[in-house]
Amino acid sequence: MFSFLYELLGGEHNNPAYQTSIFPAVGLFTLILSVVFAVIFYVLLGRWKPVWDKQKHWVITAVILAFIASGLAYGQAINGTQEEGDPYMLTFSMINALYAVIYFIILSVFFKRASIFAKRTPF
Partner 1 sequence: MTRNIFVFGVGGTGARVLRSLTMLLASGVKLNNTNKIIPIIIDVDAKNADTTRTLKALESYKLIRSRGYGDREDIREGFFNTNLNTLNSIKPETGVTDKLEDSFQLQFENLETSFIKYIDPDEELVGDVTMDLLDALYDNTPAGHPDYSHTELNLRLDMGFKGNPNIGCVVFNNLAATKEFKFVMKSIGENDRIFIISSIFGGTGSSGFPQLVRLLQEEERLRNNVFGALTVMPYYKVSDDKKSAINSDRFDSKTEAALTYYAKYLKGKINCFYQLWDNPLKQYDNKEGGEEQKNNAHLLELLGATAIIDFVNRPDDSFRSREKTAYFDFGIKQEDQVIDVRHFFDSTRSTIMEPLTLFTYAKKLFLEVIPRFSNESFYKELDLEGKLKNDIFFQHLTSFFRDHYRSWLKEMMDNERKFQPFNVELDLNSLVRGKPIEVVKRLGITINGGITDSLLKTKFGHIEDELKKTIPDTEKDKRFLKLLNRVAAECFSKLEALPSMN
d(CA 12, CA 82): 18
CB of 39 to partner 1, least distance (A): 17
For the chain, give the longest Cα–Cα distance: 50
Cβ proximity to partner 1: between 4 and 120 the closer is: 120
Bond into 122 cis (ω within 30): yes
CB of 63 to partner 1, least distance (A): 20
Q: Which residues make up the interface to partner 1 (CB under 8 A)?
A: 49-51, 53-54, 115-121
CB of 123 to partner 1, least distance (A): 11
Cβ proximity to partner 1: between 47 and 67 the closer is: 47
- CB 68, CB 29: distance < 8 Å: no
